[in-house]
Amino acid sequence: MNEDQVNEFWQAHPCGDSLVGGLDKLNKDYKVFFEKYDAFRYGEYPELLKLLENMGFNNKTVLEVGLGQGADSEQIILRGGL
């Protein structure tokens, strides 16, 4: 398997796609997809938002290493992380 094949796979099967009904079923509406993904993620793990809220990211440079859609990175940015 090469890098192009890996890229092709993830373009066809975004992380979390099956959890929210599939991007194709949402007519490739990325805004709705990410809203549904966030609702699923933070509905399933509500403690994450509370933890992120209490970590004090404001004006701090943050390297968030993770796999997925970047939902936690978005939350860090919304809380002032750089």
Confidence of residue 62 (pLDDT cuts 50, 70, 90): very high
pLDDT mean over 55-62: 95
What pLDDT is attached to residue 48?
96
- pTM of the full structure: 0.77
Distance (Å, rounded) from C-alpha 21 to C-alpha 37? 10
